[in-house]
A and B are shown apart, each in its own frame.
Chain A
C-alpha cells in the first residue's frame, strides 16, 4: 500500500528549519509553482523565491523561501534554501522599505540586476505576508 503522507524537510546552512509530515506540499520553482502529493516520482529541481505551503489536514502553513534546491524522493521532500522564514515572521514594514530601496534607479547594469533580484525577493515576501492575512480573514 502506498504511503499516504509526505515527509517535508527544510534546511538552511544555519539550521534545520522544519522536519515534519504533510499531506501536500507546494513550492516555488524557478519557473512557477510545483505541487507535490504522496507517491510522486523522484525529482531534483531548482527553486525560485516565493511561498512554500504545507497542508496537513485542514491546516496550511506558509513559509517564505529564497532560492535553492529541492529533492523529492521516496515521499520525502527535502528543501535546501539560503533563507527560510515563517509567514508570521515576515516584517512587512522592513520588507516594504527594502522594496522601496530596490526600486531606486541603479547606476550600473550589474547593480541593476541585483536590484531586480532584490525587488523580486521583496515582492515575493510581501505576497506571502498578504496570504497570511487573507487566511486570517477567511477564518
Chain B
C-alpha cells in the first residue's frame, strides 16, 4: 500500500514540475521572438554604420584615431563577461564562463594585468566562488538591454582606453549565429580593428562621390566611437537572444523528460496496484480454502 501511495505522490510532483517547465518554455519562446525582433531592428543601424565607415575610409585614407591605435605592450586588459541573471538555461552560462576562464588563465600565464567586469548574477557568483574580485558588476541587463545603459558603459571604456587605463577591451558573450547555433566567444572590441571599419564594399557596387559635411576625416573621428558603442550594444543584444534560446531549448528538454518520467511512474504504479490486487485475491482464496 505504501508503495503505490508513494508512486502516486511522485507522479503528482513530476506533473507539477512539468507544468512549470512547460510554462517557462512558452515564456522563453515569446521573449526570444521579441528579443530577436529587437536584434534585427538594431541590425539596420549596425549595417548602415559599417557602410558609412566603409564609404568614409575610402575617402580618408590615412586616418588615425586613438581608438584604432594598437598598443605595443598590452599591460592592462579589461574583460567584460556577459552572462544571465537567472539560471535554468542549460549550458548557457557554463559555456561563457569556460571561455572567459580560459582567457583569464591565458592572461595570467602572460602575467598581464587584467580587470574583470561582470554582467549577470550567474557570472558574479561564479567568480566570487573562484575568489576573484570583479571591478564592476551589472545586474540590470535582462532580455531587453537599452542603448542608454550600454552607452554609459561604452563611454567609460572609451575614456579608459584613451586615458591609458586599459590597453585592450574584450567581451566574453554568447554570439548569436542563427536560431539554431550560438557559440560562446571572447572578442576584442578595443582597439577597433581597422578591417571592420574599412570593409570591402561588395562587388559591382559603384563608389559614389559624396559631399562631406564637415570633412570625411572629421566625420570618421565621430563615427568610430559610435561604431564601438554599437558593437558593444550588439554583444548585449546577442547575449539576450541567445539566453532566451538556451532557456527555451533546456525547458523543452525538461518537459520531455518529465513526460517520460510520468509514463514510467504510471506503468510502475499500475503494476504495483495489479500486484496488490492479485495478492489480495490469493489471500481471500487461501482463507476460503482453509475454512473448508
A residues near B (Cβ < 8 Å) are 11-16, 29-31, 34, 41-46, 68-69, 71, 73, 78, 80, 82
Q: B198 → chain A, closest Cβ, in Å?
A: 15
**Chain B residues within an 8 Å CB radius of A30:** 213-214
Main secondary structure of the interface of A (DSSP, over half): strand
**Chain A residues within an 8 Å CB radius of B219:** 44-46, 69
* Known A11-B48, A14-B147; contact A42-B41, beta-carbon cutoff 8 A: no
Contact across chains for A11 and B218 when beta carbons are under 8 A apart: no
**Chain A residues within an 8 Å CB radius of B162:** none
- Determine, out of B15-23, B204-212, B251-259, the stretch whose residues face the partner at the interface: B204-212
Once bound together, how far apart are the Cα atoms of A71 and B233, in whole Å? 22
Q: A117 → chain B, closest Cβ, in Å?
A: 12
Give the A-B contact count at a CB cut-off of 8 A: 77
**Chain A residues within an 8 Å CB radius of B212:** 43-45
Number of residues from B at the complex interface, CB < 8 A: 31
Main secondary structure of the interface of B (DSSP, over half): helix
Contact across chains for B41 and A16 when beta carbons are under 8 A apart: yes
Interface members, chain B 25-67 (any A CB < 8 Å): 38, 41-42, 44-46, 48-49, 51-52, 55-56
Beyond contacts A29-B213, A69-B222, A82-B226: 16 other A-B pairs, Cβ-Cβ < 8 A, are: A13-B45, A13-B147, A13-B230, A15-B42, A44-B52, A44-B219, A45-B219, A46-B218, A69-B49, A69-B219, A69-B223, A69-B226, A73-B208, A73-B210, A78-B48, A80-B48
Of A11, A42, A73, the most chain B CB neighbours within 10 A belong to: A11
* Known A16-B44, A69-B52, A82-B151; contact A44-B230, beta-carbon cutoff 8 A: no
Contact across chains for B214 and A80 when beta carbons are under 8 A apart: no
* Known A15-B42, A78-B48, A80-B52; contact A43-B214, beta-carbon cutoff 8 A: no
B146 close to A (CB within 8 Å): yes
